Amino acid sequence: MKFAKTLVAMVLALAMVLTMSSVAMAEDAGTIKIGLIGPMTGAAASYGTSVRQGVELAVEEVNGLGGVQIELNAQDDEHDQELSINAYNTLWDWGAQMIIGCVTTGPCVAVGAEAYNDRMFMLTPSASSTDVIADKDNVYQLCFTDPAQGSASAQYISEHGLGTKIAVIYNNADAYSTGIYQTFEAAAAELGLEIVSVTTFTDDTTDFSVQVTEAREAGADLVFLPIYYTPASMILQQANSMDYAPVFFGVDGMDGILNIEGFDTSLAEGVMLLTPFSADATDDLTVNFVTKYEEAYGATPDQFAADGYDCVYTLYAAINEAGITADMSAEECCDLLIAAMQNIEITGVTGTMTWSATGEVTKTPTAVRIENGVYVGADVAEEAATDEAAADEVATEEAATDEAAADEAATDEAVTDEAAADEAATEEAAADEAATDEAATEEAA
């Protein structure tokens, strides 16, 4: 069944409820097979693990609603393109009707080419390069694209006056990192931001002394890092060893840095990054998601967990919009889902989303800051800093007022004492004069 553009909102209470307007609930759809591909082990495991946990939580909630049921099969690609193809083939043989994935850009580009030929629909939670969706009508993104991240980062830095001299350190062997850098550079030029240093590295780099030294010697007071969290942690360690403390500003790939085993998270204090999700948001959707996630996994969800969570509810809405059933082939599902994705609007924990025919999502990124080992919305952190500054100003004014009052009281007391002394002296002089006059009178008599 085809519908006009539909508003689909996720509303969380004790259990997640998807409120849908004019969307047919596929009561007899049966069990839909959804595959998941991402790095559950290896250097990017934090991303894949978070996505999987967010997906699992949402699947449990959806299955509890009745109607459409979901069977999930998660495969580990270790952030490796060859292994991602193996994972895809495993899911194809299993009978997957659609895929959430891949989590990272390289594997997603590789799998996307195979899926395009096979007509398998894919929704990636976090592979943000435009290469992921280029020339493929079957691949959609839940995350905003690399160009959007690069230009949005430059805009935010400019609007908030975070730095006057900017250094950039990026991975020139990675499409994700390179794509963000290129759009950041272009936007920075338009906004009048001064880039004083640009250095690169590859996936094999473990020593960042050259890059950090050049940034420091160029006088950079802000370092832009359009990179993943593992190299970012090494850069922070290198900067700390050199007593170099600029503002570090990253993008969504840095989310996960607080979960690196053995990493001193105090080194990330004050780091800022763009993300579509902030766990400290106070809206009902986020509060309930964070509460359930913490109860299930004993940790605060990051943006990748939120992306995975929203992917499930997006597919759930599209499945109902398109009338997908368990007996349909992947190819049949693909064409129906492509049409459905352009007719739905999702309000999830990562924002309100719509999709174009290219597979690109429209939503707005936000900035967060790491404070006391947790992510805090940058606006919240800024407001807190403003409040603290205002409190300090009030305290200073009160202290100055108290000091002035004390000085005035001391002055008044001194004047009073001086007047009393003058009066006493006058009286004493008068008494002496009277005594002298009396003595002179007696002598004359």
pLDDT digits (tens, 9 = 90+) for 126-153: 999 999 999 999 999 999 898 889 999 9
Does 18 have pLDDT greater than 60? no
Give alpha helix (H) positions in 65-104: 81-94
Q: 47, 126 in Cβ contact below 8 A? A: yes
Q: Model-level pTM greater than 0.85?
A: no
Per-residue confidence (pLDDT) for residue 46, from 0 to 100: 94
Per-residue confidence (pLDDT) for residue 287, from 0 to 100: 96
Does 75 have pLDDT greater than 80? yes
Q: What is the mean pLDDT of residues 257-264?
A: 92
Q: In which band, very low, low, confident or very high, does the pLDDT at 25 lie, cut at 50, 70 and 90? A: very low
Q: What is the mean pLDDT of residues 244-270?
A: 94
Q: In which band, very low, low, confident or very high, does the pLDDT at 419 lie, cut at 50, 70 and 90? A: low
Per-residue confidence (pLDDT) for residue 179, from 0 to 100: 92
Per-residue confidence (pLDDT) for residue 280, from 0 to 100: 87
C-alpha torsion angle, residues 419, 420, 421, 422 (rounded to 10): 50
Q: 231, 208 in Cβ contact below 8 A? A: yes
Q: 300, 290 in Cβ contact below 8 A? A: yes
DSSP code per residue over 214-279: HHHHTT-SEEEE-S-HHHHHHHHHHHHHTT---EEEE-GGGTTGGG-TT--GGGGTT-EEEES--T
pLDDT, tens digit, for every residue of 342-397? 999 999 999 999 999 999 999 877 889 999 988 888 764 444 444 444 445 555 56
Per-residue confidence (pLDDT) for residue 377, from 0 to 100: 85
Q: How far is CA 319 from the centre of its chain?
A: 29
Q: What is the mean pLDDT of residues 232-243?
A: 98
Q: Is the peptide bond before 102 cis (omega within 30 degrees of 0)?
A: yes
Among 133-147, 287-301, 415-429, the minimum mean pLDDT is found in 415-429
pLDDT, tens digit, for every residue of 312-337? 999 999 999 999 999 999 999 999 99
Does 429 have pLDDT greater than 50? yes
Average pLDDT, rounded, for the chain = 87
Query: Hey, which of 163-167, 419-423, 426-430 has the most confident mean pLDDT?
Result: 163-167
Give alpha helix (H) positions in 298-344: 303-322, 330-341
